[in-house]
Chains A and B, each alone.
Chain A
Amino acid sequence: MSSTPTSIIQVCRSCGGGSPVAAHFCQQCTKILTLGRHGDYFAFLGLPRTLTIAPALLEQQFRALSRQFHPDYFYNATPAERRASLERSSYLNDAFRTLKHPVQRIVYLLEIEGVLTPAERGGAVASATVPPDLLEEVFALNEELDEVRALKASGAPDAQWREKLQHAAAPIAAKRDAHARDLAALASAWDAVADRPADAPERRQVLQALRARVLERNYINNLLATIEREGLQVSGEAEA
């Protein structure tokens, strides 16, 4: 597997010995290794780089590793080992939290495969351009939002514009659900090609498809947030 290079070596700060990247403890002196150069969340947890992970397996790995390097067990160790335990535990917790969530898992995979930048993950870039597949919905939504704002400005009863807002939100929510299904299908497609060489075209293809869906998803979430704000803002005014 080219995605998890085994050539990277971690150097033990206690004895100077080398260990493979996925090791947590020095293979020479058995001391906990400082979290310096490491692989990724998948490798860290001893899991293949696939998008289907049995929740029970993930939790089991998480618990097993927690038992190996939680700071509780290094209270009487040297400062360097305590530091290493703290760093490894923090990284483990971050890894578990990310991989537990199916969509975050996809986003993380795209990042370590180098097809998604941290800025794109945040959704900042996604909102700049409308994804082509969403043009129609966005156009309709903007019109309806304008109408909602006009209704509110004219002092129409809450129920009236709320109904309109809900009507505007429905197709977007439906689109999000459809996306969730697409993502699930693409995730299975990835698992079938994950082991191929990094430059294999079918591998790249799935990654690009996942990337497009994730960006669209960000965009859809932004739209839903806009709709929510429209509702929240007004109820705030009503209270005042």
Chain B
Amino acid sequence: MGKVVGIDLGTTNSLVAYVRDGAPVVIRDKSGDALVPSVVSVDEDGTSYVGREAVRRLSTDAARTVYSVKRFMGKGVDDVQGEARLLPFAVRGEAGGVVRIGLGGKEFTPPELSSIILRELKRRAEAHFAAEGEFDFEVDRAVITVPAYFNDAQRTATRDAGRIAGLDVLRIINEPTAASLAYGLDKRHTGVIAVYDFGGGTFDISILRVEDGVFQVLATNGDTHLGGDEFDALLVQRELARCGDAMLSAEQIQDIRKAVIHAKIDLSDGERTTLLGRDFTRVEFEAIIRPIVDRTLAPCRQALADAGLKPSEVDEVVLVGGSTRIPLVRRLVGELFGRTPHSELNPDEVVALGAAVQADILMTGNREMLLLDVTPLSLGIETMGGVVSKIILRNSTIPATGSEMFTTGVEHQTAVDIHVLQGERELVQDNRSLARFTLRGIPPMPAGMPRVQVQFQIDANGILSVTATELRTALEQTVEVKPSYGLTDEEVERMLIDSFEHAETDFAARLLIEAKNDAESVVQATEKTFRLPMFAEIAAEDLAPGEQKRIEQALIGLKHVMQSSNRDAILQWTKVLNDATRHLAEVVMNRSVKEALAGKNVEQI
């Protein structure tokens, strides 16, 4: 038996964790990084790159590089027309079918691209276990997290991605619930917890009651298309507007996006930063993103109403997801619930930790803790006049069942068409089509005589299965549900085989990528220091004559060799930049300490 891990497959970053000696830990690479950017790039030879290497390729080969693929999971082409125009990669597919993403000459489905990320996490975990001296280091099973508000198609797509990556997906669990498990471990609380999970691409709110180690979700709500990506898009558009009519290449636009993201991150700590050479303040930033942050508040109120609670009845608020580092987000959430939100655990890592805990529960049968989650959306079927009849209501604890009786409308009719939908609206057209199927083999009888009971089962993953029985003849039907926006089992199998045939980056290539990753860490740290509002003062007061110039030259040199495949040169120049910035790093550190002692935040200067 191989190893079992918990995986947070995020819109922006993904990571893997496992339980060691009873406590969950995230797995880091050599430079201490736990996050693998959820970016995949495929070059002309069909070699795939994942993570930071793929991020770098956004600046050189944007058309062959895909990010935020999670947004396309379980989607049809018709769903994503609007945003596809803004992306450097080609979004295709047949009308009414699964999205296909074109990278160079090849097309990939979102589960295939996600599986490449999962494979990288699996590889990273295996390298970790091997380094720990484990004899059996293969990782073959995983718990994978999804946004709580993911529908059936999105969950199924995630499970398919795991299977294509060669993982037995033990369980799909909801991100906010996973986070609550990680928090619950530390504290053993009893009471009502609200988990506000605002990530790169999705927003979730879950309200839980924790008692006797049972984590019972009372209500959940959210928006699977609302996250930090929206901030980035607004800021990029603002910068593009500044450029006027200038025709920019996809790579240039990606460089702007990168600068925007850096500025966004800077403004979580500081009051001001530099964006593409211009001063950019937190006040300006907050004015731009405010409408998006406000959109998270209505789902919070709805979840509270569904749980039958007032904001004041929530005992603790937990923040999850990178976007909760933004001070404005913290402030608004604090105001809504009337209390300061928790943020002791790293909001990027807490979900993976929870997934690892759940994987451990499944493997060991440890009954200390139990997650009881809910289905986020009502499940229904189409009835006469295009109206949806609900069978399992939203916020029902899963696993859950529901059944509906069908009959025939015509003499000797032997088949009935059934259309399954998910959503809260009354009309079919306003809900998500999950599947259409035909009940066959109904014994010929007068119209209205057959009594076909269709049983819907939502399992603990939040995934639907359907069975049907003709009650008069007790004839059990196996129902083949063709998902409206998913892959068939055969397709998944074929993709699994294909993925083995894909050229994997070899050992030498890996070493090169690691060197580039290290180089990039130094480059980013240096550039961040340059953007500090107090940098001008440091340069004037603390740096030796010519010191700044030397650093800048080392920076240019390293960035230049990073474009090449010369590992030795990259290692050499990384050392040069490291040496050149050592004194500067000390100065910044000393100033920070001094400012902190003086009771004043460095960033407030």
Q: Which residues of A contact B (CB under 8 A)?
A: 59, 63, 66-67, 70-73, 75-76, 86, 89-91, 93-94, 96-97
Scan B353-365; emit 1 where CB is below 8 A from any A CB, else 0.
0000010011101
Please, how many angstroms separate the alpha-carbon atoms of A73 and B211 in the complex? Answer: 18
In the complex, are the beta carbons of A66 and B362 less than 8 A apart? no
As a 0/1 sequence over residues 477 to 501 of chain B, the CB contacts with chain A under 8 angstroms (1 = contact) are 0000000000000000000000000
B residues at A contact (CB < 8 Å): 170-171, 211-212, 214, 216, 358, 361-363, 365, 367, 370-372, 396-401, 457, 459-460
Write the chain A residue with the least CB distance to B374: A93
Closest approach, in angstroms, between the C-beta of A44 and any C-beta of chain B?
A: 14
Residues of chain A within 8 A (CB-CB) of B397 are: 93, 96-97
Interface centre among A66, A73, A75 (most CB of B within 10 A): A75
Q: Total A-B residue pairs with C-beta atoms closer than 8 Å?
A: 53
- Minimum Cβ distance to chain A for residue B438 (Å): 25
Closest 8 CB pairs of A and B: A93-B397, A90-B399, A90-B401, A75-B362, A63-B214, A71-B460, A89-B399, A73-B365
Separation of A66 and B216 alpha carbons in the complex (Å): 10
Chain B residues with CB below 8 A from A76, complex form = 363, 365
Report the Cα distance A96→B400, complex, angstroms: 11
With A73-B367, A75-B365 given, is the CB distance from A63 to B460 under 8 Å?
no
- Residue contact B400 to A94, C-beta cutoff 8 Å: yes
Assuming the contacts A76-B365, A86-B457, A86-B459, asked whether A71 and B212 have C-beta atoms less than 8 A apart, the reply is: no
Q: List 24 A-B contacts (CB under 8 A).
A: A63-B211, A63-B214, A66-B370, A66-B372, A67-B370, A70-B370, A70-B460, A71-B399, A71-B460, A72-B171, A72-B361, A72-B362, A73-B367, A75-B362, A75-B363, A86-B457, A86-B459, A86-B460, A89-B460, A90-B399, A90-B401, A90-B457, A93-B397, A96-B397
CA distance A223 to B362 in the complex (A): 49
Q: If the complex has contacts A67-B370, A75-B365, are A93 and B214 also in contact, measured as CB distance less than 8 A?
A: no
Can you name 8 extra interface pairs (CB under 8 A) apart from A70-B372, A70-B460, A71-B460?
A63-B216, A66-B372, A72-B370, A72-B371, A73-B365, A86-B399, A93-B398, A97-B396
Tell me the smallest distance from the CB of B265 to a CB of chain A, in Å: 37
Question: Residue among B170, B358, B397, B398 with the most chain A CB within 10 A?
Answer: B397
Set B216, B400, B457, B460: member contacting A72, Cβ < 8 A:
B460
Across the interface, which residues of B come within 8 angstroms of A73, CB to CB? 365, 367
- Docked Cα-Cα span, A63 to B550, in Å, equals 66
Q: How far apart are A102's CB and chain B's nearest CB, in angstroms?
A: 13
For B372, the chain A residues whose CB sits under 8 A away are 66, 70
* A63 CB contact (under 8 Å) in B212, B362, B365, B401: B212
Given contacts A70-B370, A73-B365, contact A94 B401 (CB under 8 A): yes
Residues of A near B459 (CB, < 8 A) are: 71, 86
Q: B189 CB to closest chain A CB, in angstroms?
A: 15
Bound Cα distance from A86 to B171, whole angstroms: 14
Contacts of B170 in A (CB 8 A): 75
Q: With a CB–CB cut-off of 8 A, which chain B residues contact A91?
A: 401
B457 contacts across to A, CB distance below 8 A: 86, 90
Q: Which residue of B lies closest to A73 (CB)?
A: B365
Q: In chain A, what residue has the closest Cβ to B209?
A: A59
Q: Distance (Å) between the CB of A207 and the closest chain B CB?
A: 25
B361 partner residues in chain A, CB cutoff 8 A: 72
Tell me the smallest distance from the CB of B393 to a CB of chain A, in Å.
9
Question: Whose C-beta in chain B lies nearest to the C-beta of A93?
Answer: B397
Closest-by-CB residue of A relative to B141 is: A75
Bound CA span A136–B363, Å: 64
A83 vs B457: C-alpha distance when bound (angstroms): 12
Residues from chain A with Cβ under 8 Å of B400 in the complex: 90, 93-94
Chain B residues whose CB sits within 8 angstroms of the CB of A86 once the complex forms = 399, 457, 459-460
Q: Which residues of B lie under 8 Å from residue A70 when comparing CB positions?
A: 370, 372, 460
> When chains A and B are docked, how far (Å) is the Cα of A73 from the Cα of B362?
6
**CB-nearest residue of chain A relative to B402?**
A94
Chain B residues whose CB sits within 8 angstroms of the CB of A93 once the complex forms: 396-400
Interfacial chain A residues near B216, Cβ < 8 Å: 63
